[in-house]
A and B are shown apart, each in its own frame.
Chain A
């Protein structure tokens, strides 16, 4: 591996934190934490950092470092090439998410522009969002997001990914700290903190709290996406995967906590002194990610002193978070093309064109966007289960002793890792999938099978099955392209 393609010690930590921190930290965590028990939810969320995110991320980083190939190559090398389709599915799920994540990133850029130059704060935000999201404008901003993301990775690992994350991540934390400082000095902010951090330990007996904490830990840290594996390809030989992933896991959680401490007290200050303030806040939190961010946040900031400045700051932080994740996602897809022998420049160009074209339906139709989010966000649990199958097939002990640990490592994973991946990870996957299927069925019992419905179980199973079928049929061709039979 060339020096220009190898992360420095700080480089992989910043890139890893950047990979993990995304828009979900800013717009999903505060919503979910406030809806599912505040302090109790956070205790469960930290537990899952240890028993879901860190073990999976450690295995991913170690695999990338050992095999020095992207997701498909790593699965093919570890499990045998006839199982490489599992890696193809993992890569495709992340790619499918990237296709609409570039659209989301574009929205963030648009709202930053609108705040700075179009006086968004003086407009009617709900109407503004409806007009924007149904126009052609998202296509332009989707193109801009793809262009910026691809331009960064075009410059390579050190000059592109590492350098960008070294700017984005510290800046993001500074922005979040300023936002927290502002929100905590608003009238009524203390009620927000009370609401957010009240322990309410009885909630720990509620299975939904645990399942939502698990889903937040799984999606927010990027464990099981194949992203950490891709970054691991460029890590130094002596890198200790456990320490690196634990650092980024805690860094990611810190960003989520700061975001919650910035958003929730601001929402409370809006309703300060009103009756049923808590119920009103919960109503806003139930409006979904876009509802909170693009409709309610501008309304809330319009009521606070220097609101325009702080609104711009919020959307700038959101842009930084979005791009820091997008870079890793684009690199995951590009790495697979590079594994076939293409140069970085050619691979990135192909990825840029594909992302723009395949993201167009989501940019033009919120219905399509919601369908893709519905199908592939849950696909990540299947991706996680494929990583688990890989670990179990190779043997947890072998993975721990031969792939993760090197003789010079002083801090090592203990035997608890074997126990965790053999018993706890399968239980978590089954619980998450089972709960999701039951919840989806209960919400729509008469139409759950309909593959044409935007948010049904049928459309999920259908799209997963089509993708898996294609990857299994073309597995031989894909492994040949990646020269897995020769290496």
Chain B
């Protein structure tokens, strides 16, 4: 796998998974 593709994959998955966990955490804190 090329390094560019690997980094992009980590970035895209990171944003989506990170965003999901972050907002899940924030919403559980607020509710």
Interfacial residues, chain A to chain B (CB-CB below 8 A): 9, 13, 38-39, 42-43, 46, 190, 193-194, 196-199, 236, 238-240, 243-244, 246-247, 249-251, 253-254, 257, 409-411
Contacts and interface: CB of A to CB of B under 8 A. Distances in A.
Interface in B1-22: 1-2, 4-9, 12-13, 15-17, 19-20
A250 B20 contact: yes
28 contacts: A13-B24, A39-B4, A39-B8, A39-B9, A42-B8, A42-B12, A46-B12, A46-B16, A193-B5, A194-B5, A196-B5, A196-B9, A197-B6, A197-B9, A199-B7, A199-B8, A238-B31, A239-B31, A240-B27, A243-B26, A244-B27, A247-B20, A247-B23, A247-B24, A250-B23, A251-B20, A253-B20, A254-B13
Contacts of A198: 2, 4-5, 8
The 6 A-B residue pairs whose C-beta atoms are closest, nearest first, are A243-B27, A250-B20, A250-B19, A39-B8, A247-B23, A197-B9
Given A193-B9, A257-B13, A257-B16, A411 B1 contact: no
Contact of A46 (B6, B15, B27): B15
Nearest to B8: A39
Nearest to A194: B5
A243 B12 CA distance: 20
Contacts of B17: 250, 254
A192 B26 CA distance: 35
User: Taking chain A's interface residues, is the majority helix, strand, or loop, or is none over half, making it mixed?
Assistant: helix
Contacts of A236: 31
Contacts of B4: 39, 198-199
A427 B13 CA distance: 28
A209 to B, nearest CB: 14
A410 B19 CA distance: 18
A194 B20 CA distance: 25
A199 B28 contact: no
A243 B5 contact: no
Nearest to B27: A243
Interface of B: 1-2, 4-9, 12-13, 15-17, 19-20, 23-24, 26-28, 30-31
B5 A9 contact: no
A193 B1 contact: yes
B9 to A, nearest CB: 4
Given A257-B12, A411-B26, 18 more contacts: A9-B27, A39-B8, A42-B8, A43-B12, A197-B6, A197-B9, A197-B12, A198-B2, A199-B8, A236-B31, A238-B31, A240-B31, A246-B19, A250-B16, A250-B23, A251-B20, A254-B17, A409-B30
A253 to B, nearest CB: 4
Contacts of A253: 16, 19-20
A217 B23 CA distance: 19
B17 to A, nearest CB: 6
Nearest to B2: A194
A197 B12 CA distance: 9
Given A9-B31, A250-B16, A254-B16, A39 B5 contact: yes
B30 A411 contact: yes
A142 to B, nearest CB: 33
Contacts of A254: 13, 16-17, 20
